[in-house]
Amino acid sequence: MLKVVFHEGYLARYPTGAVETPARIRSIMGNIKGRYEVITPEPAATEDLLRAHTPDHLVQVQLEGKAVREAAALAAGGALCAARLAASAGHPVFAAVRPPGHHAGRNRFGGFCFFNNMAVAVLALLDNGAFSRAAVIDFDMHRGDGTAEIFAGDSRVALLDVSSAEKNHFIEKIEDFLEALPTVDIIGVSAGFDMHLKDWGGLLTNRDYHRIGRAVADAARKKAAGRVFAVLEGGYMPHDLGKAVLAFCVGLEGKDLLEPTHMARS
Ligand SMILES: [Zn+2]
């Protein structure tokens, strides 16, 4: 059974881009309420953040103000919680966090991202010694430049950033990567939904997000002992975001999309 990581703090208002709103998370929770067990995370500790970021970066985020610093630490903590749950229990986990993280590099932030949630989560598992290899798939429409920078030269992490794929090969690129993937200890997914038909990218339907979830679930079962977690990145049209996330989560559970047509179509 899939679990969802959520904290009331993800509904907080803090200074950021106008489109990165609490309504995004309300849409997701509204769609998955009652379906999945919800787990409440703790904020990431300083030592967790320092695996992905420089001490100076932590100071820079601090200077953005208390609201930003608290929200960012809580989002990183949510990703960490999801990764640890997936690692120990072996069932899929979706972390419905904001702010997103994949544009945050070791020593810089931007693009609505402050701490790199995915990097904080994966590095915690790798550095504790139990896990030695991870795969990270980023299907946001924007390049996860922060994640790429943090994992550059780290042979423990196989990273796929789909944003460079031609539009009609978007899903195929994910499937090809999963097909070629060697055995890993865990798969992390930077799940951005801004490639949605009704979002900025204007490409993927809810059925497509279900297909991606399903492909990742299959690969996780075959190559990662079923260990997989996903962390929300982009997706800026609250009306459609929740449905897309639900379709992805149903796929991640390895289940068919047996929903009314309003959800199956986008
Ligand atoms: Zn994006």
Q: 154: domain range?
A: 3-264
Q: What is the pLDDT at residue 263?
A: 52
CA–centroid distance, residue 254 to ligand 1 (Å): 25
Please tell me the distance between residue 134's alpha carbon and the centre of ligand 1 in angstroms. Answer: 22
Active site residues per annotation: 103
CATH number where 23 lies = 3.40.800.20
Please provide the average confidence, as pLDDT, over all residues in the chain: 95
Expressed in angstroms and rounded, the spacing between residue 191 Cα and the centre of ligand 1 is 9
Q: How far apart are CA 261 and CA 123, in angstroms?
A: 40
- Which residues neighbour ligand 1 (ion) by CB within 5 Å? 140, 142, 192, 194, 234
Give the number of other CB atoms < 10 A from CB of residue 46. Answer: 11
pLDDT top residue among 167 and 181: 181
What pLDDT digit, counting tens, does each position of 115-157 carry? 999 999 999 999 988 899 999 999 999 999 999 999 999 999 9
Q: Which amino acid is at 240?
A: D
Q: What's the gap in Å between 51 CA and the centre of ligand 1?
A: 24
Q: From CA 68, how far away is CA 74, in angstroms rounded? A: 10
Look at the chain and report how many structural domains it folds into.
Answer: 1
